[in-house]
Amino acid sequence: MIPRPELRHDLSVSYELTTGATVSGDLVDAVRLALPQLDLRPGDSGEIDVRRDPELGEEAYRLTVGSRGVEIAAGGRAGAFYAAQSLHQLLPHASYRSAAAPSWPVPGVRIEDAPRLSWRGLHLDVARHFFPKREILRLVDLMAAHKLNRLHLHLVDDQGWRVESRAYPLLHEVASHRPRTAINYYREPEAYDDVPHGGYYTLDDLAEIGAYARARCVTIVPEIDVPGHASAILAAYPEFGATGERYDVLDRWGVSPAILSPLPPTVEFLTTIFDELIGALGETPYVHIGGDEVVLDHWAASAEISAYRDSLGLATANDLQAWFLRRLADLLAERGARAVVWDEAFVSGGLRQDTVVMPWRGMGVGRRAAAAGHDVVATPVFPLYFDYAEAASPDEPMAIGDTITVEDVAAFRTAPEEWKDEERARIVGAQAQLWTERVADPRTVDYRLWPRACALAEVAWSGTGQAGFMERLEEHLGRLEAMGVEYRPLAGPRPWQRRRPHRPSVVRVADVMDRLDTMTHDAESTRPSV
């Protein structure tokens, strides 16, 4: 839900917030954006005073509602924005609708609050199934209402490329679509829908998305997943592959052996792509470069690549992958961006020290990355992979496996007590992943994300789920309804949300986590893990 502030005391007065409330101070736009239903114009009866307090952190705030009206003190623009979100939470659910009442009573309160984690994220896979710009902007709005501040967009995979490139136009002309999509259950005979699927964001779209998100204190984290997951890229430009073979954009799930070459022309190609991405998005502090589930066979079999590896003084293909990812991270650093990778890249070694690690295979490898001095964003399959079903029941829509519940997410601790202080300090965030092999439309995105993302918001803001979360969540569902979110009811799906039935217990998340943790201790565990 919208994270509950740590300190909140009812005062003896209440206040009526009107649609003509006055806002003063230099953080006005943040408050206006957080309260879009209020027409905050000067000269009317209500008053909201906003001021900067340099003693507070950038995202910290104090909110007081009393006889003098509404007073907000914030460390920065983000703090003012989050103070206004907390103020909004005090209003009736109707205030989250577009057609709002002229005024609402606000209880007298004093709130002092700040987030525990700086990275509070959601990941959306737009490569397996594409979601147009309007859905991204809507997701940004929902994230902002929940004080989530990182939107990680998985822009390329074997099944599609999702960004316009003016330098390499075949990427969006050829690699952005496939003629059909697999619809079979996991480990069952292949079946296809024979319906073309595709789409991409223009550079103008990305510029709009970047600006829209920044205004709402959300940072876009684009991911160009390399060197594996490369079928779509090599369908357009096979010369950047390890073999020169042209691939088709993959129409089934899983991972192909397609891999980019590590040679200089590929690095130049990717540098151009990074420049286009960053140029379109604007300020881009992080770029995710993947490094996961890489099949290195073609590198080992290539005489040219092996000779290049030897010229660099590297012993193995794994060493070469580590070098390749570090080279890309160096290029990003020159452009003012930090590289982010999945945990296989850390296990292979050789990362830049400022590279952010996402341990999807469990917090055991996350702890090792933290101990090595890397900033870590917690992303473990359990409990933060939201493509898993919320119940082991055929009533659920088809999912890869089961079960990850709202309660599981709320109980997640990013850094257990037994960790050393210096390890815990390196856990800078938590992020939920929504992979979309089995999520083909925006209604299913809503169903998979909410209300589990409400629990994530509380964990990421507070460091752990607070007492009474489920009771407060039930109240918060009224806000989701007012915002038009087609969330999963706590009691189970509505009849029209069941769709294609889930096959329970085919993939158990507990078994997956046991296997993944074992693999993270192998420096050559780059191959597909699930």
Q: Tell me, what amino acid is at 200?
A: Y
Compute CA 8 distance to the chain's CA centroid, rounded to the nearest angstrom: 29
Length of the chain: 530
Partner residues linked to 94 by β-bridges: none
Q: Coil, helix or strand for 233?
A: helix
DSSP 8-state class, residue 128: T
Burial class (CB in 10 A: 0-12, 13-18, 19+), 162: buried
- Closest Cα to residue 291, out of 266, 264, 316, 328? 328
Question: How big is the chain by its Cα radius of gyration, in Å?
Answer: 24
Distance CA 243, CA 227 (A): 13
Q: Coil, helix or strand for 182?
A: strand
Residue 74 tokens, joined: 């914030």
Dihedral sign (CA 446, 449, 452, 458): negative
Catalytic residues: 157, 229, 293
Q: Is the peptide bond before 444 cis (omega within 30 degrees of 0)?
A: no
Residue 499 C-beta-side C-alpha neighbours within 13 Å: 14
Distance CA 168, CA 161 (A): 12
8 A C-beta contact, residue 69 and residue 47: yes
Residue 290 belongs to what H/E stretch?
Answer: strand 286-290
8 A C-beta contact, residue 328 and residue 223: no
In order, the DSSP letters of 330-383 are HHHHHTT-EEEEEHHHHHH----TT-EEE-TT-HHHHHHHHHTT--EEE--HHH
Alpha helices in 5-44 (DSSP H): 28-34
Distance CA 208, CA 283 (A): 12
Report phi then psi at 141, rounded to 5.
Answer: -60, -45
8 A C-beta contact, residue 34 and residue 48: no
CB atoms near residue 318 (< 10 Å):
22
